[in-house]
Amino acid sequence: QSKPIQIKVVLLGEAAVGKSSLVLRFVNDEFQENKEPTIGAAFLTQKVRLDDAVLKLDIWDTAGQERFHSLAPMYYRNAQAAVVVYDITRESSLDRAKSWIKELQRQANPNIVIALVGNKLDLAGTPEPTESAATGESDAADEGSEEGEEETDETRAASEGIGRQVATATARAYADEAGLLFLETSAKSGEGVVETFTEIAKKLDLN
């Protein structure tokens, strides 16, 4: 195909959930451990190839700090797609994501494709809250099987309670109800990142 179709995409979400990190992973396949907060917004582009089309995504990565909230409409106005990001290790960030989604549904393009994205999947630690965890039973049976299990940053984070706070099923149920795409990602490992933008591209009505 000759000319790429240009698509405006905006990223929204609470400060420090990893919006810029997701874009940096998608555009440059890089990750920075201590990324500085975005001031205002950043603009990047990347192409996505579908079976029968090439899309050029014009990506507006907005600043999550509250003092920048009033700028957001400039960036989501006329956007064909929005990626609303929360951090799976911070429950409050899902509430913030929900309020962004309400704002988009009220004020943005009525056909906008919205993806709800739970980032920092690499920090989830071990399994999602299981029934035994929920009922407070201890995992005594696991106690003897520690040999060979190395303590990594991730397992340590999990044992210190920094792991997952938002269950996949909870977020997915909300996304289904609201008619959103839903993915979990890690900007750090790259998991789910390309898929996020490909799923959006597939859902856009290009005609």
Torsion of CA 171, 174, 175, 177, to 10 degrees: 160
Q: Does 114 bind ligand GTP (CB under 6 A)?
A: no
Asked if 104 and 72 count as a contact pair (C-beta separation under 8 A), the reply is: no
Rounded (to 5) percent helix, strand, coil in the chain: 40, 25, 40
Exactly one of 8, 100, 116, 120 binds ligand GTP (CB under 6 A); that residue is 120
Tell me the closest approach of the beta carbon of residue 200 to ligand GTP, in angstroms: 18
Residue number, 69 or 172, with CB nearest to ligand GTP: 69
Binding flag, residue 35, ligand GTP (CB under 6 A): yes
**Of 13, 20, 196, 197, which one interacts with Mg ion (CB under 5 A)?**
20
Among 20, 80, 165, 196, binds ligand GTP (CB under 6 A): 20
Residue 125 contacts by C-beta under 8 Å, 6 or more apart in sequence? Answer: 154, 155, 157, 158, 159, 162, 163, 164
Among the listed ranges 31-39, 109-117, 125-133, 176-184, the one in contact with ligand GTP (CB under 6 A) is 31-39
Q: Of the candidates 207, 5, 9, which has an alpha carbon nearest to the alpha carbon of residue 108?
A: 9
- Region class of 148: left (phi > 0), else alpha (psi between -120 and 50), else beta: left
Cβ atoms of residues 3 and 47 within 8 Å: no
Q: Does the footprint of ligand GTP cover residue 38 (CB under 6 A)?
A: yes
Window 49-88: residues binding ligand GTP (CB under 6 A): 63-65
How many other CB atoms are there within 10 angstroms of residue 89's CB atom?
23
119 contacts which partner out of ligand GTP, Mg ion, none, CB within 5 to 8 A by kind?
ligand GTP
Which residues of this chain interact with ligand GTP, rule CB under 6 A?
A: 13, 15-21, 32-35, 37-38, 63-65, 119-120, 122-123, 186-188
Which residues of this chain interact with Mg ion, rule CB under 5 A?
A: 19-20, 38
